[in-house]
Amino acid sequence: MINLNPILSSTDINLKDGTQMNFQYTRTASPKKAKGFTLVELIVVIAIGALLALFAVPYARGVIINGKVEPTANDVNKTVTMIRGNFAGQGVTPYNNLGVGAAATAIFANTARGLSSSLTVSGNGAAATVQHDLGQTGSQITVASSTITTPGDSFTVTLPTVNNAACPGLAAQLSRVAEVITINAAAAKAVGGVYNGGIAQNACTEGDTNTFVFTFR
pLDDT over 60 at 40, yes or no:
yes
Q: Structure pTM?
A: 0.76
Q: What is the pLDDT of residues 207-216, one digit of tens each?
A: 999 999 999 9
Average pLDDT of the residues of the chain = 87
Calculate the dihedral angle through the C-alpha atoms of 95, 97, 103, 108, rounding to the nearest 10 degrees. -40
Contact between 139 and 132 under an 8 Å Cβ cutoff? The reply is yes
* Percent of the chain whose predicted confidence (pLDDT) is above 70: 79
The Cα–Cα gap between 182 and 64 comes to 24
What are the distances in angstroms from CA 14 to CA 8, 25, 167? 20, 17, 90
Mean pLDDT computed over 193-201: 98
> Which residues are 10's β-sheet partners?
24
pLDDT given at position 31: 58
Q: What is the pLDDT of residues 90-147, one digit of tens each?
A: 999 999 999 888 999 999 999 999 999 999 999 999 999 999 999 999 999 999 999 9
Higher per-residue confidence, 166 vs 58: 166
Q: What is the CATH number of domain 39-216?
A: 3.30.1690.10
Q: How many residues does the chain have?
A: 217
pLDDT given at position 8: 52
pLDDT given at position 47: 74
User: For the chain, which residues make up each domain, given as ranges?
Assistant: 39-216
